[in-house]
Amino acid sequence: MREMGNWNEYFIEYLATDREAAIDYLQLTLEEYLADDDLPFFLKCLRTFIASQGGVVEICKRTGIDTETLSNMFANEDATRLLDMFSSLLNALKHRPVIENTNAKHLSPIKQMPTNQ
């Protein structure tokens, strides 16, 4: 019989086994942050997502981000201020980021912005 863990452990395991659910969770987390600006909650959810994807070291291997840099993002006040500024900028422009699979067939290629010549 499997030993019972806490809810967070169960949820991390669930997200680790269901990639679509993990991406949906990340999108929802981002949308909630942009709606209510609750940065501590957003960072906690981001930590949960990262744990479900193998942890900081694994994410850093896949992204090429230095482990210390990613770890410091959660503790560094400058990084959290940057995230807050990005959120404010998007809200002012009435836009929001969307997390999409870049391998999805339904995505159209990025169009070049016209330039004034």
Domain boundaries, the chain: 7-92
pLDDT of the residue at 117: 47
Percentage of the chain surpassing pLDDT 70?
A: 80
Is the pLDDT at 101 greater than 80? The verdict is: no
Give residues with Cβ within 8 angstroms of 53, minimum separation 6.
15, 16, 22, 59, 62
Mean pLDDT (whole number) for 92-110: 65
Confidence of residue 50 (pLDDT cuts 50, 70, 90): very high
- Number of residues that this document lists for the chain: 117
Cβ contact 77:5 at 8 Å? no
User: What's at 105, amino acid-wise?
Assistant: K
Give residues with Cβ within 8 angstroms of 49, minimum separation 6.
15, 22, 25, 26, 29
Task: Measure Cα distances from 96 to 32, 66, 73, 74, 99 in Å.
Answer: 11, 27, 21, 22, 10
Report the half-sphere exposure of 72 (CA within 13 A, side-chain side): 8
pTM for this structure? 0.72
Task: Measure Cα distances from 102 to 22, 34, 81, 89, 96 in Å.
Answer: 15, 22, 28, 24, 17
